[in-house]
Structure 1
Amino acid sequence: MAGMLNIGMTGLNAAQAQLATTSHNITNVNTAGYHRQTVGQGALEPLFTGAGFFGQGTRVSSVTRSYDQFLESQVLQADNRRSQYAAYGAQIGQINNLLADSTTGLSPAMANFFAGVQEVASNPTSPAARQALISNAQSLATRFHSLNARMEEIREGVEGSLVQTVESINSYAKAIAEMNQRIVVAQAGGAGTPANDLLDQRDLLLGELNKLVKITVVEESDGANASGAVSVFIGSGQSLVLRGAVSTFEVIPSASDPERGAVSMVAPGGNRIELAESLLTGGTLGGLLEFRRVSLDAAQNELGLIALGITETFNAQHKLGIDLEGVFGKNFFKPITPTVVPATAGVATSITDVSEVRAKDYRVAVDNIGGTVKLFAGDEEVASQALPATWPVTLEGGGLSVTVPSAASIPEKGLLIQPTRDAASHISVAITDYREIAAGGPVSVSAPLVNQGTGKLADIDVRSIAGMDGAGDGKPDFASFSASFSGTSLSVPAGYTIERLRQDATSGQWVADTAYPSGSATTFDPATDSSGAQFRITGPGGYAFDFKFSGSPESGDSFEFASNAAGVADNRNAVALGALQTSKVMLADGSGRPTATFQSIYAQTVTTVGNKTREVQVNESAQQALLDQATASRDSVSGVNLDEEAANLVRFQLAYQASARVMTVAQRLFDELIAIGR
C-alpha cells in the first residue's frame, strides 16, 4: 500500500508541475520574447523483486523551453536587415522629397536664371532686363543655400541619431552582461538546469541590440558544459560583451574629418579604437552610416558641384565680354574656394579646370614607403610627386591645385580638401549694378566698301582676352588689324596666327583642323567653303577669338578687326552666357572632353536618389516579409498556442485526478487491512 501511495504522490507532483507550466505558458502568451515551456517527465528507477521489476512512479526531469537556434538566427538576420533599410529609407526619403519637388527643387531656379540671361541677350539695352537677371541670379543662389541648409539639417539629424543609437547599444550591452551573470548564478544554483525565463529576457535584449547593429552571438562553455553566458561580437570580431565584461561605443570626431562623427570602441582596459564604417553593418547604425556615406555625401557634393560649375563657367565667360561702359566683365558670382579640413595655415587651393572636378572629397596624403605625396579624388589618385627636399609642394590634378607648405601640414590620415561639399552654401552674386553686366563682345569686325566679293565674317566668339587691355584701363584697346583674302588663302599680319577649326564629334568643341595649314595664313576655298568655315585668330599677348567665314570673297577683299568701344547694344557675350545652359561644360572624360550640362548633373542626382529611395523601400518591404515568415516559423515551434494549452490543461487535470484516485485506492486498501487486524 505504501508503494501505491508513493506512486500516486509522484504522479500528483508531476501533474501539478505540468499544470503550473501550462498555466505559465497561458499567462505569458502576449509576453514579448517568451518561448513555450514544457515539462520533461521520466520513470523512477524500478524496484527488483523475485517476480521482476516493479515501477516506482514518475519524476520531473526538467523544464525546458521550445527553442530552435536556426529559426532564431533567421529572425535576427531578417530583423537586422529590415532595421537597416528602415533607417536608410527614413533619411533618404527626405532628400528625395527635397530634390524632386517641382517647386522647391533646383531646376526651376536654374531655368529662371538662364531665362533672365536670354532676356538680356534679346534686349541688351534694357535696364529692367539686366536688373531682372541680377534678381534671378540672387534667387538661384538663395535656392542653393536653402537646399544645402536642408541637407545640413538632415546631416545634423543623422549625427544626433548616431549618438542616440550608440547610447542604446551601450545600454543593451550592459544589460546583456548583467543578465549573463544572473543566468550563470541561477543555473549554477539549479544544478545546471536552464533558467528559461532569464534566457528569454536575454534573448529579447539580444534581439533589440541586433536591431541597432549586426551582432554575432557565441555561447560560452566551461569545459564540456555550457556556462549559460554568451559573448557578443560586432564588425570583424570586435568584442562588445565578453560574459560580464563590456566594451562601450562612443561617437567622436573622425580622424580624417573632424567635423564628421565616427564610432569608436572603448575596450574594458580603456583603449579607444576608431572603427571603420565598413565594419558597422546592419541595423539602425549600419543604415545611418551607409546613408551618410553613400547618399547624403554624394547628393550634397553633386549639388555643390553644380554651384561650383555655374560660378566658374559663368564667371569665365562673363570676363570675356564688356559692359555698358566698355569695361571687361568682372566676376558675376563670387569665386568659391575649396574647403580644407582641418583648416591649416599656408595651405592654398584653387580650381584650375572645373570640368575636371568631381563630386567627391579630395585628400592629400604622404606615402612614406613610396617616398611620394599624392592627391586623391575619392579613391582615385589624380596627382603625385616625389617628396621634395624643400617645401612647399604643389599638386595639380582632378581640376584642383593644392599647395602644401610642409609635411607637418598633412595629418596622418591625410589633408581633406572639399571642393564641392560647401559650394552650394557659398555661391553668391558679386554684381549689384546692372551696368556691369558684360553682355557685349570686345571684338568688332567691319568690311570695307571696296570689297568686291560676297564674303561674310560673323559669329565672333572670344576665347581669351590676354593682351587685349594694352593700356591697363580694363578696356579692350588692342591695335586694329585686317584679315585679307587672296585666291584660296585667308591671311593675317605678322605677329598674328590664324588656323582653321573643325567641330569635335564627341564634345562638340571647336578644335584645330590639322588637315589645313596654320600660321600667318590658312585655306578658304570659295568653291567648296562658301557655306561657311570656322577659324581662330590668336593675337599678340595671347588673346584669341573664333569666327565663321562664308560666302565668295574676291582676291584683295579684307576684313578689319578692332576693339569694341562699348557694349550698349551688343548681345554677343550674353548669347554665349545663355548657351552655357545647354553646353556640356562639366564632368570631363578621360580625354578631357566635358560630358555633362548643369541640368543633366542635377537630373542624374535626382534620378539616383529616387532610384535608391525606391530600392530601399522595396528591400525594406522584402525584409519585412522575410521577417514575418521567419517569425511565423519560429512561433510555430516556440510560440504559445492557446488551444493546445487549453487541451493540456484538461489532460493534466485528468492526470492529477487519476493520481489522486490511486492514492485514494491505496488509502482504502490500508483501511481494509487495519479493519481486518481488528
Structure 2
Amino acid sequence: MSSYNLLNLGTQALQANSSALGTVGQNISNVNTEGYSRQVVSLTTVQYSSGVQVESIDRITDRFLTEQMWSDVSTYNQSLTYSAFSSRLDDLLATDSTSISSALDSYFSALQNVVDDPTSTPNRELFIAEADALVQRFNNLDASLQTQNVAINDSVEDLADQVNSLTTNIAELNYKIKVGTAANRPINELEDQREELINQLSELVGVDAVEQDGNQISLFVGNGQPLVVGGSANRLSAIPGDPDASQTNLALTISNNEVDVTDQLSGGQIGGALKYREEALNDARDELGRVAILLSESMNEAHQSGIDLNNDLGGLIFSDVNSAQLQRSRVLADSDNRAQLEDGLVEIDDLSQIQASEYTVLYEGDNRITLTRESDGKVIRINDLQQVSDPYDVEQGSYYLNNSKELVFAVDGMKVTLSTDRRMSTGDEFVLQPVRTGAEDMNLEIQDGDHLALASPIRVVSDTENTGSGVTEVAVTDFRALSFDASGELAPPLSIVFNNADPVQYTVYDMTDSLNPQPYSFDSDGDGTAEVLENIPYTAGDSIQLKGFEATITGQPKAGDRFSISFNEDGISDNRNALIMSDLQEADVSSKGAYQDLYGSLLERVGTRTSTAQINLDANKAVLTSTSDAKASVSGVNLDEEAAKLVQFQQAYQASAQLISTSQTLFDTLLSSL
C-alpha cells in the first residue's frame, strides 16, 4: 500500500472519528435538555475503494413511544385539571360555612321555635333573619359556582392562545424541516424541538398526529378537525357559547370559516376544564337551583294558605319562581335558527317531577320534535305525548302544536311555551334551563314578623250541645279559591249538621244568613254540575271536599251534633299553618325526596366524582411515568454509555492520526532515498 493510500485512509478515519466524537459531545452536553433525543453516527466503508465515511447521524427514537407519550401527557393533564376543580367544588359544598345543609338546619330550627310559640315576636323576627341567611347562603354558593365558571372561561381563552402559539411554532418547524431535508442539512435538533412542542401542546389538548411526506407531522383535534397541516396552522379561538353565552366555547378557523369544536375537544387542560364544566359544575348548579326552587315554591304555597297577625292571607316568603321574567330567562334560542323566537316560557308546573337538568328542543321537520334531557341523555318525542286542541288544556304528558309556530308541552314537571315568528325549520334548536339559575334568583320577600302567616284561616267549632264523640279538622287545599277572596272572612261560613241516627247522615249548610241556612252546593269534581251536600252518609275519616278546603270528621257524631266552620279571626296563638310549613322539612317535595335528601345526593355525587378523579389522576400519573421511563430508555442519553463511546472514538481518532504520521514518515523516507 502506498504512502498516499495510507494518508487517505488516515484522513478519512480522522474525519469520521472526529464526527463521532462531536456527536458524543453533543449527546453529553444535552443530557439535561428537555426533549433531546440521543444521536448516533452511522459509519460505512467507502464503496469501490478503501477507507471509512459518515453515512448519517441519526436520532434514536421510537415513534410508538413518542405518540404514546403525547397521549398519556394529554390524559394526565385532563385528569389533573378535572381533579383540581372537583376538589374545590367538593370543599365548597361540604364546608359548614358555605353548605346549604347547615343553613337549612338553622332555618327549620327557627321555624320550630315559631311553632312552639307563634305569639312570640322575637321568635318571628328570628325566623325572618334565618330565612334571609338561608337566601344569602343559596345566593353566595351559586355565586361561587359562577366564579368557577368564569375561571373556566378565562382559562379556556388563555389556553387557546397558548395552543395557537405552539401550533404556529410547530408549523414553522415543519417548514424548516422540509427545507432542511431538501437542502440535505441536519434536522435532528429541529425534529427534537417539534416533538417537544407537540408534547407541550398535548398538555393543553388531546391531538392526533399523522406523519406525512416523510418528515412532516400534521395534527388534528376532535373528529379530525385540522389544527396543523404541514407548514400552516389553523387558529383556535374562544367564542361566546351559543345559545348559552355565559359559557365560553372554542372554535377552529378553517379556510376563514369558524367551526365550533367545543363538544369535540378532549384531553389536556382544555379537555379537563370542559369536561368538569359539563359534567360536574352545571350539574351542581342545576341541583342547587332545583333545591332553591322546591324550597321557595313549597314554602310559599304553604305560607299563602295561612293568615298573619293582621288576619290577612299570607304572602310570599321567597320570590315567585314563576314570575314572567324568570319563565322567559329559562329559554335560550340557537343563533342559527331560521325561525326566530318571539316568546319562550318555562313554568315550574309540578314540583314533584321537576328535574335538575338542562334540555334541548330540536325540530326535526314534518312536525317531529324531540326533547333531550341532558343529565341522562333521555330523549322524549313530543309527538308521542297526548295532543290537545287548546294550549290552555296542556297538562303533564300532553302537547299543543299550531302550524309549527306555537308549541306548548308539559313534561318533567315543567310547562314549556315556544312561539316563533315563522314555521320552525329542520335543525332549529332551543335550550331549556328550568332550574339552572334557581339559587341565584332566590330572594326574601317577607320582611316583617307580623306578616308571618302561622295560623290557619279556617276555624271549626263544635257545638256545646253536641252529644256524640265526633271531632272535625279542617285544612286548606287551595288558598286561591273564592272562599278566601274577601279579606277577613270565609265566604260562605258553613255548618255541618248531623240529622239522622241510623244510618248516620249529615248536611252542610251555607250560613250566610244564619236565620235561614241553606244546604250548600259545590262542584267538587269540576264537571260543571254543582252537588248539593245534603243527607250525605257519614263514614268516619272521609274528607268532605269544600271550596278551597276540606273537612275531616272522625269519631262517632250523633244526630243533632253541629260543627261550625268560619274564618279564624285573631287566631294569633294558632300554629296549624306553621306546623304544615315545619313538616316540609321531612316531606318528599320531589320524587327524589326532601330538601336535605337532594342536597345530600349532590354532595354524594360530587364526592364520588372527586374520589374517582383522584384515583384516575394517580393511575394516569403512573402510566405517564412508565411511558416516560420507556421513552427515556430508548431516546435518553446514558452518560456511562457515552463515556465508553468517548474513549472508543478518542482512541480511534488517535490511531487515525498515527496513520497520517506514519504515511508522512514513509513519504519522507522515500524522498530521502532518491
The TM-score with structure 2 as length reference comes to: 0.87
Cα deviation for residue 410 of structure 1 reads: 7.4
Over residues 444-477 of structure 1, what are the superposed CA-to-partner deviations in whole Å (9 max), with x where a residue is unaligned? 222223333333334x432223435366336434
Say whether residues 1:112 and 2:106 are aligned partners: yes
Alpha-carbon deviation of 1:275?
Answer: 1.8
Q: For 1:27-46, what aligned pairs fall within 5 Å after superposition? A: 27-46=29-48
Secondary structure at the aligned position of 2:57 is classed as strand
Match of 2:260 among 249, 262, 274: 274
**1:88–1:290 contact (8 Å) kept in structure 2:** yes
What secondary structure is seen at the aligned counterpart in 2 of 1:19? Answer: helix
Deviation of 1:46 after TM superposition, in Å, equals: 4.6
Amino acid at match of 1:370: D
Of 151-160 and 434-443, deviating more is: 434-443
What amino acid sits opposite 2:256 in the alignment? G
Instruction: Describe how 1:49-128 pairs up with structure 2 within 5 A.
Output: 56-128=50-122
* Offset, 1:350: 2.4
Q: What is the correspondence of 1:389-404 to structure 2 with a 5 Å cutoff?
A: 389=403, 392-404=406-418
Q: Deviations over 1:86-125 (max 9, x none)?
A: 1112222221111010222111111111111111111011
Asked if residue 145 in structure 1 is aligned to residue 121 in structure 2, the reply is no
- Tell me how far 1:375 sits from its aligned partner: 5.3
Q: Are positions 1:207 and 2:186 aligned together? A: no
Render the CA deviation track for 1:133-191: whole Å, top value 9, x for unaligned. Answer: 1111111011111111111111101000010111111111111110111001111111x
Cα 1:548/1:479, change in 2 over 3 Å: closer
Aligned pair partner of 1:455 in 440, 458, 470: 470
C-alpha contact 2:342 2:420 (8 A) present in aligned 1: no
Contact 1:374-1:383 at 8 Å conserved across structures:
yes
Q: Which residue of 1 aligns with 2:447?
A: 432
SS in 2 for 1:8: helix
Kept in 1, the 8 Å contact 2:251–2:258? The answer is yes
2:602 is the alignment partner of 1:595: no
Partner of 1:473: 487
User: Structure 1 residues 412-421 or 35-44, which shifts more?
Assistant: 412-421
Q: What letter corresponds to residue 444 of structure 1 in structure 2?
A: R
The residue that corresponds to 2:527 in the other structure is: none
Give the conservation status (yes or no) of the 8 Å contact 1:5–1:662.
Answer: yes
> What 5-or-longer segments of structure 1 have no aligned partner?
48-55, 500-517, 525-532, 587-593
Tell me the percent identity: 30
CA pair 40-492 structure 1, distance change in 2 beyond 3 A = farther
2:405–2:422 Cα contact (<8 Å) kept: no
The answer to whether the 8 A contact 2:369-2:381 is kept is no
Contact 2:400 2:408 in 1 (8 A): no
Could you tell me how far 1:64 is from its partner in structure 2?
0.4
Note closer, same or farther for the CA distance 1:602–1:562 as it changes in structure 2 (3 Å cut). same
Q: Which runs of 5+ in 2 are unaligned?
A: 334-340, 384-398, 509-518, 525-532
SS in 2 for 1:64: strand
Amino acid of the structure 2 residue aligned with 1:672: T
Task: Pick closer, same or farther for the CA change 1:33–1:79 going to 2, 3 Å.
Answer: same
Residues 291 and 652 of structure 1: CA distance in aligned 2, closer, same or farther (over 3 Å)? same
Question: Does residue 1:237 correspond to 2:258, yes or no?
Answer: no
- 1-side partners of 2:523 and 2:258: how far apart? 67
Matched letter for residue 605 of structure 2: T
In 2: Cα distance, 1:370 partner to 1:145 partner:
43
With over 3 angstroms needed to count, the CA separation of the structure-2 counterparts of 1:477 and 1:519, relative to structure 1, is closer
Aligned partner letter, 1:576: I
- The alpha carbon displacement at 1:440 in A equals 0.7
**Amino acid paired to 2:448:** D
Whole-Å Cα distance in 2 between the matches of residues 481 and 104 of structure 1? 52
Q: Could you tell me how far 1:322 is from its partner in structure 2?
A: 1.3
SS at 1:405 equivalent: strand
Q: In the aligned structure 1, how far is the partner of 2:475 from the partner of 2:366? A: 47
1:376 deviation in Å?
5.0
Shift of the alpha carbon at 1:194? 5.9
1:310 aligns with 2:295: yes
Say if 1:419 and 1:486 are closer, same or farther in 2 by CA, change over 3 A. Answer: farther
Mapping of residues 494-509 of structure 1, within 5 Å: 495=520
Equivalent position of 1:504 in the other structure: none
Contact kept in structure 1, 2:488 and 2:567, CA below 8 Å: no
How far apart, CA to CA, are the structure 2 residues paired with 1:302 and 1:449?
53
The structural deviation recorded for 1:401 is 2.5
Q: 1:2 to 1:390 in 2, by over 3 A?
A: closer
Greater CA drift, 255-264 or 619-628: 255-264
Aligned position for 2:566? 562
Superposition RMSD in Å: 2.6
Residue 416 of structure 1 deviates from its aligned partner by: 3.0
Shift in alpha-carbon separation, 1:469–1:382, aligned structure 2, 3 A: farther
**Alignment coverage as a number of residue pairs:** 622
Kept in 2: contact 1:363–1:376 (CA 8 A): yes
Q: TM-score, normalised by structure 1?
A: 0.86
Relative to structure 1, the CA distance from residue 520 to residue 112 in structure 2 (aligned partners, 3 Å threshold; closer, same or farther) is farther
Which of 319, 337, 349 is the equivalent residue of 1:334?
319
**Distance in 1 (alpha carbons) for counterparts of 2:616 and 2:103:** 34
- The 8 Å contact of residues 12 and 656 in structure 1, kept in 2 or not, is answered as yes
